[in-house]
Structure 1
Amino acid sequence: MDDNLKKIIPYTKKYKRNVVLNIFFNVLYALFSTIGMVFIFPVMQVLFADGEKVTKYPKYTGFIDAIGNWQEYLFYYVNEYSNKYGVYYGLMITVSLVLITFLLKNLSNYFALQNITKLKNGVLRDLREKMYNKIVSLPVSYYSEKRKGDVMSRMLSDINEVQSSFFLILELIIKEPLTILFSLGFMFYTSWKLTLFVFIFMPISALIITKIGKTLKAKSTKAQQEGGYMISITEETLSGLKVVKAYNAEAYFSNLFKDSVNRLFKLTNAIAKKNNLAQPMSEFLGIVIIGVLLIYGGNLVLVEKSIKGSEFLMYIGLAYNILTPAKAISKASYQMKNGLAAAERVFEILEVKNPIINKENAKEISSFDKGIEIKNVTFAYNDDAVLKNFSLDIPKGKTIALVGQSGSGKSTIANLLTRFYDVNNGEILLDDENIKNVTMHSLRNQMGLVTQDSIMFNGSIADNVKLGKLNATDEEVITALKIANAYEFVANLPEGINTNIGDSGNKLSGGQKQRISIARAILKNPPIMILDEATSALDTESERLVQDALEKMMQNRTSVVIAHRLSTIQKADKIVVMHHGEIAEQGTHEELLNLGGTYAKLVSLQSLDS
């Protein structure tokens, strides 16, 4: 059994009832499908009048014998009613049996499909939920190497492919094979000589179809990867549309997209070519088998006279009854290869080991009492160390500012404090407790984060602010907006705090988004605030409003401020100047200016008043 098939089985346990009912109704479908064809035989006997006349009621010698002598019982009643009411009445009985059997066959098929649909949709829902939860739980570092579009493709199209293709396995192992098996059983019972011909040709047909399907899984995997890349290009183009247009790069991105679409076009055509060949090829091979049966069977009927004409017609009907499930099996086996390739990509993400998880006995913390201590921390994103044996004390209630050139490790400290990444060496202590021994949920509950890029979500202003406190009232939202110097412009919007701000907040200016981001942190009201270059992308007026909001927010809080604009951190209790992952200088604004070192040069370069 394929490994990916084994992995999908646990998801079906929740729907055992639907699996059992699907199998039950598929067995009935296969049975009635075969019996329907067998019941055509009595119709032929009546029409051609070459059936055995049974005038005495067959003697009952047990249930098994009665099943084996079903024809005698049937012919007795047909003969009895034909003598009483005419041959036409006997024909009505046999035709009615055929119709009832085919009705039961199709009802069984309906109930089987209903149950497989519930199973497929249920597993699809569960897989999507698990996939989304996995995507959210994976660390930030995972997405620095992955294209978002590829992840989205796995979440949407690949899981859909698993749903549409994978559960054909129930058809492959129950419905269609049983239909073939039951039909072959009656065929063998009717004429073992003719059936031997079928057994000779069926493996040859299967071998030819298998040969056609080779390499299909590999091509399906490539097509799904290309689909992910195509979605990535679309997502990146839309996210950076202003840059694309400003640099007249439409043609460049159009060519990227065109190349991807063309590769996908070729791959999907190659897959479709083999998929499309499967059904007509299996049907043609089936007709070849029936053609051989007609030649050989015709000899048995016309020359050897070892089989009746009506029996032979029923036999051909049974042989043709094998064709439909044989076609379904060949088509399903091809689709299964697509499903296997898609499942491989889905489980590739589901099975990623998350390096940043809670320890088994991790503690819940509900308060922050002493301070933060960074002890001898070394950290590298790849091979080059960003922080080297870095140590820093952040006492409770103090504002610590981190400054330095790009790449000096400032933002890395914010990532480590929030456990978006884990340290390679050393430790970070919160109230003398290593943050690795604390649950991430309770750790992040103690922290508020305001970044340079104000992350906004498509929804109302209230929705975005309430991320800080999901059960907040409108009054609490308005209070937070006022402290963040945001309520003045929000109050003038058409629907106030209920105004939709568009995708990524594109209806707002940078300064407005940043103030809403600050309001979100204020509403959360955490004891520790981390500000990662929160004003670096703003104009002077917006910066003044945002800086005022930040100062209000930092009152009576422990704050770690990562700053590019040095004017924003002059009131900090301690300024730490970083250089290549190490502390170059530290002290207050005045102390560092008097030192006349790196910080004084940075201040001078930014033309600030000391």
Structure 2
Amino acid sequence: MKSSNLSFILSHAGKQKYKMYASVVFSVLTALMNLVPFILIYKILETLLGGGGQTDGVGRLVAWTALAAVLHMIFLLLSLAFSHMAAFSILHEIRVKAMDHMGKLPLGFFRKHSTGHIKKAIDEDVEKLELFIAHQIPDLAEAVVTPLLVIIYLVSLHWPMALFLLIPLIFSFLSQMLMYQGRADMMREYTTLQGKLHSTIVEYIRGIAVFKAFNLTARSFHQYTETTKKYLEFWIKCTYDTMSYYTVGLLLIDSGLIFTIPAGGILFLRGSLSGAAYVMFLLLSSVFLQSFRKLLELGMNLSMLLAGANQIRGILEAEPQRDQQQGALSELSGNVAINNLSFAYENEDVLKQVNLQIPAGSSVALVGPSGSGKTTLGLLLGRFYDAPHGAITIDGIPIDDIPVKTLMDQTAFVFQDVFMLNDTIFNNIRLGMDKTREEVEAAAQKAQIHDFIMSLENGYETVLGEGTGIKLSGGEKQRISIARVFLKDAPLVVLDEITSYSDIDNEARIQQAMQKLLENRTAIIIAHRLYTIKNVDQIVVLDHGRIIEQGTHEVLMAKRKIYHSLWYKGEGGVRSA
């Protein structure tokens, strides 16, 4: 049976749960110290109103009242200190676990969940846990204990009078129950809308150059305006649906004196309620009912928090990619065999019964029209996705049986869109690998990027990223990416459209780097510019997910079929369809 979202949150407390327990204990003590002064005031009133002018012990009671007020402050500070230490430690733990877990998920997860939804879960929804753990858990303990202590004390003073306080409470709870009907569906809609809002904001920022080029503002971005409009309509509907119940509930809770004053006055005049007790009921009736008001507010915040926690849970409980713990190989030679491989994104077939042999140390180019399955085949070789039909083997071993770490250590990728850290060029090339400065510079020289780096004022210590003022061209980014591959020195490499964003000078340098890169490595090259792969060992032509042709450039040109057509459509292979 699936545990509740609240149990899920608390299960990640770990060692921090003891700090949470301490926070709750001090919160209960805070509630107790909050009540003690009222009891002492009652004793003082009894002494003063008892007649006879006796004031013995009043000074001592006043001193105890002051001490209770000081202890209340100390216990409150300790409760908040422990709860905040636990909260930020748990937030750190959950974020680290979530990021680590996402690294183990197949790319299919990120196709189904937008960047905005994931960002909201990791950032905003996790941050809400701080409010819950640091404030609402101790507040909840105090809000439960305070009315319980108050009603016990008031019953001990005069139980019929104490029953009057339950009348507004019962009606307030009935009103709140009506308000919370359908709340779960409302919270799910709220979470969905917030995720869409985050996604559209991210999309707008990413496409800001295009929007500016067409003189479009956020208001003219239809998807953004529609999402914000739906978000506004959602809150207006929520307000109208809950306003009457919420208002009635608050009025009833705030109406304690309306019941206490007349009822207590009648009992006092009849002599069945002492003046000191009457004053205590007037003072504590508001304390008793206001504690329930805090409970109602906590309930509303908790429902929103648990809806957000469900998003975090969706990430942490997503099925990770199956990983073989015991590796059959510590090093791969790169002999690749693809047998009857089929793959689909949701219901869209991308690859259909692909069969291909790639001998170790050879270079194979995948070409074909856009959408023919070239990039997908390259991603499957690195197990970014798992194919449900067919098999890929490396050195005769199914890649599903090779530990992911071993596969990643022995495989290198150069993607069409190069990712750059907001960090130094040195760290961008090293990318977490345990390599020396000399090794990094040697890799950069092989990638034909060393001279460019040294032309920069800070050389390898030049910081890349937003706000640095350093902008690299697409070709320069590609050469840094190629330097990473040289540094990794993997026997199997996949190159995806690495010259697509390059000018003539950068492309020439990339071609020089590629000649060195392909030596003694198994290489799969995905290309649109056919002249860049003219000299590879084997060219494979894909169309609609199937292999249509394969062979060397000369053989395929002689066949005068699809490859021949692509070559001349691209004016000598400069571009293909």
Counterpart of 2:315 in structure 1 is 349
Counterpart of 2:335 in structure 1 is 371
Counterpart of 2:36 in structure 1 is 35
1:508 is the counterpart of 2:476? no
Q: Is the 8 A contact 2:538 2:552 kept in 1?
A: yes
For 1:64-103, list aligned pairs within 5 A: 87=55, 90-103=57-70
The runs of 5 or more residues in structure 1 that have no matched partner are 52-78
Q: Is the 8 A contact 1:25 1:108 kept in 2?
A: yes
What is the aligned counterpart of 2:288 among 313, 319, 322? 322
SS in 2 for 1:538: coil
Q: TM-score, normalised by structure 1?
A: 0.86
Partner deviation per Cα, 1:365-421 (whole Å, 9 max, x = no partner): 321236111112122223343222211111111111222222222212101100111
For 1:105-116, list aligned pairs within 5 A: 105-116=72-83
Residue 274 of structure 1 and its aligned partner are, at CA, apart by 8.5
For 1:215-294, list aligned pairs within 5 A: 215-250=182-217, 253-268=220-235, 284-294=251-261
Partner deviation per Cα, 1:422-477 (whole Å, 9 max, x = no partner): 1222111111111100111110111111122222222221121111x522222222
Q: Is the 8 A contact 2:412 2:492 kept in 1?
A: yes
Q: Tell me how far apart the structure 2 counterparts of residues 518 and 582 of structure 1 sit (CA, whole Å).
A: 29
Partner deviation per Cα, 1:551-586 (whole Å, 9 max, x = no partner): 111112111111211111122112222233333222
What is the aligned counterpart of 2:376 among 412, 422, 435? 412
What is the aligned counterpart of 1:358 among 316, 319, 323? 323
What is the identity, as a one-letter code, of the residue corresponding to 1:480? A
Residue 221 of structure 1 and its aligned partner are, at CA, apart by 3.6
Q: Tell me how far apart the structure 2 counterparts of residues 90 and 555 of structure 1 sit (CA, whole Å).
A: 97
Structure 1 residues 478 and 47, CA gap change in structure 2 (3 angstroms): same
What is the identity, as a one-letter code, of the residue corresponding to 1:42? K
Structure 1 residues 246 and 457, CA gap change in structure 2 (3 angstroms): same
Counterpart of 2:445 in structure 1 is 482
What is the aligned counterpart of 1:574 among 520, 523, 538? 538
Q: Is the 8 A contact 2:80 2:134 kept in 1?
A: no
Partner deviation per Cα, 1:225-245 (whole Å, 9 max, x = no partner): 323222222222222222223
Counterpart of 1:305 in structure 2 is 271
Percent sequence identity over aligned pairs: 28
Q: Is the 8 A contact 1:190 1:315 kept in 2?
A: no
Q: Tell me how far apart the structure 2 counterparts of residues 283 and 576 of structure 1 sit (CA, whole Å).
A: 72
Q: Tell me how far apart the structure 2 counterparts of residues 283 and 398 of structure 1 sit (CA, whole Å).
A: 76
Q: Is the 8 A contact 1:457 1:503 kept in 2?
A: no
1:600 is the counterpart of 2:564? yes
Counterpart of 2:360 in structure 1 is 396
Structure 1 residues 2 and 29, CA gap change in structure 2 (3 angstroms): farther
What is the identity, as a one-letter code, of the residue corresponding to 1:473? T
Residue 537 of structure 1 and its aligned partner are, at CA, apart by 3.1
Residue 179 of structure 1 and its aligned partner are, at CA, apart by 1.3
Residue 5 of structure 1 and its aligned partner are, at CA, apart by 1.4
Q: Tell me how far apart the structure 2 counterparts of residues 280 and 35 of structure 1 sit (CA, whole Å).
A: 32
1:134 is the counterpart of 2:101? yes
Q: Is the 8 A contact 2:87 2:129 kept in 1?
A: no
**Alignment RMSD:** 2.8
Structure 1 residues 218 and 27, CA gap change in structure 2 (3 angstroms): same
Counterpart of 1:466 in structure 2 is 430
Structure 1 residues 608 and 193, CA gap change in structure 2 (3 angstroms): closer
Q: Tell me how far apart the structure 1 counterparts of residues 573 and 195 of structure 2 sit (CA, whole Å).
A: 52
Partner deviation per Cα, 1:486-508 (whole Å, 9 max, x = no partner): 12221111211111222499701
Residue 205 of structure 1 and its aligned partner are, at CA, apart by 2.2
Q: Is the 8 A contact 1:511 1:543 kept in 2?
A: yes
Q: Is the 8 A contact 2:176 2:249 kept in 1?
A: yes
Q: Is the 8 A contact 1:216 1:271 kept in 2?
A: no
Q: Tell me how far apart the structure 1 counterparts of residues 297 and 203 of structure 2 sit (CA, whole Å).
A: 37
Partner deviation per Cα, 1:183-211 (whole Å, 9 max, x = no partner): 11111111112112223332222222333
What is the identity, as a one-letter code, of the residue corresponding to 1:345? Q
Q: Is the 8 A contact 2:143 2:292 kept in 1?
A: yes
SS in 2 for 1:327: helix
Q: Is the 8 A contact 1:574 1:587 kept in 2?
A: yes
What is the identity, as a one-letter code, of the residue corresponding to 1:34? L
Structure 1 residues 172 and 31, CA gap change in structure 2 (3 angstroms): same
Residue 216 of structure 1 and its aligned partner are, at CA, apart by 4.5
Q: TM-score, normalised by structure 2?
A: 0.91
Q: Which moved more, 1:18-27 or 1:393-402?
A: 18-27
Larger Rg: 1
Counterpart of 1:423 in structure 2 is 387
1:585 is the counterpart of 2:549? yes
Q: Tell me how far apart the structure 1 counterparts of residues 242 and 35 of structure 2 sit (CA, whole Å).
A: 28
Structure 1 residues 95 and 389, CA gap change in structure 2 (3 angstroms): same
Q: Which moved more, 1:272-281 or 1:178-187?
A: 272-281
Structure 1 residues 250 and 25, CA gap change in structure 2 (3 angstroms): closer
What is the aligned counterpart of 2:145 among 159, 178, 188? 178
What is the aligned counterpart of 2:173 among 203, 206, 231? 206
SS in 2 for 1:523: helix
Partner deviation per Cα, 1:237-269 (whole Å, 9 max, x = no partner): 222222223334436654543443343344446
SS in 2 for 1:137: coil
Q: Is the 8 A contact 2:79 2:138 kept in 1?
A: no
Q: Tell me how far apart the structure 2 counterparts of residues 425 and 504 of structure 1 sit (CA, whole Å).
A: 46
For 1:186-201, list aligned pairs within 5 A: 186-201=153-168
1:440 is the counterpart of 2:407? no
Q: Is the 8 A contact 2:128 2:305 kept in 1?
A: yes
Q: Is the 8 A contact 2:218 2:225 kept in 1?
A: no
What is the aligned counterpart of 1:499 among 449, 462, 465? 462
Counterpart of 1:539 in structure 2 is 503
Counterpart of 2:421 in structure 1 is 457
Q: Is the 8 A contact 2:83 2:133 kept in 1?
A: no
Q: Is the 8 A contact 1:166 1:340 kept in 2?
A: no
Q: Tell me how far apart the structure 1 counterparts of residues 421 and 539 of structure 2 sit (CA, whole Å).
A: 33
Partner deviation per Cα, 1:3-44 (whole Å, 9 max, x = no partner): 211222212342232132123223322322222211111211
Q: Tell me how far apart the structure 1 counterparts of residues 238 and 96 of structure 2 sit (CA, whole Å).
A: 30
Q: Tell me how far apart the structure 1 counterparts of residues 39 and 284 of structure 2 sit (CA, whole Å).
A: 7
1:524 is the counterpart of 2:525? no
SS in 2 for 1:577: strand
Q: Is the 8 A contact 1:451 1:531 kept in 2?
A: yes
What is the identity, as a one-letter code, of the residue corresponding to 1:580? H
Q: Tell me how far apart the structure 2 counterparts of residues 287 and 226 of structure 1 sit (CA, whole Å).
A: 34
Q: Tell me how far apart the structure 2 counterparts of residues 572 and 134 of structure 1 sit (CA, whole Å).
A: 38
Q: Tell me how far apart the structure 2 counterparts of residues 128 and 609 of structure 1 sit (CA, whole Å).
A: 47
Q: Is the 8 A contact 1:166 1:339 kept in 2?
A: no
Residue 512 of structure 1 and its aligned partner are, at CA, apart by 1.0
SS in 1 for 2:195: helix
Structure 1 residues 255 and 394, CA gap change in structure 2 (3 angstroms): closer
Q: How many residue pairs were aligned?
A: 572
What is the identity, as a one-letter code, of the residue corresponding to 1:351? E
What is the identity, as a one-letter code, of the residue corresponding to 1:324? Q
Q: Tell me how far apart the structure 1 counterparts of residues 366 and 231 of structure 2 sit (CA, whole Å).
A: 48
Counterpart of 2:263 in structure 1 is 296
Structure 1 residues 146 and 287, CA gap change in structure 2 (3 angstroms): closer
SS in 1 for 2:494: strand
Q: Is the 8 A contact 2:334 2:491 kept in 1?
A: no
Q: Tell me how far apart the structure 1 counterparts of residues 47 and 159 of structure 2 sit (CA, whole Å).
A: 24
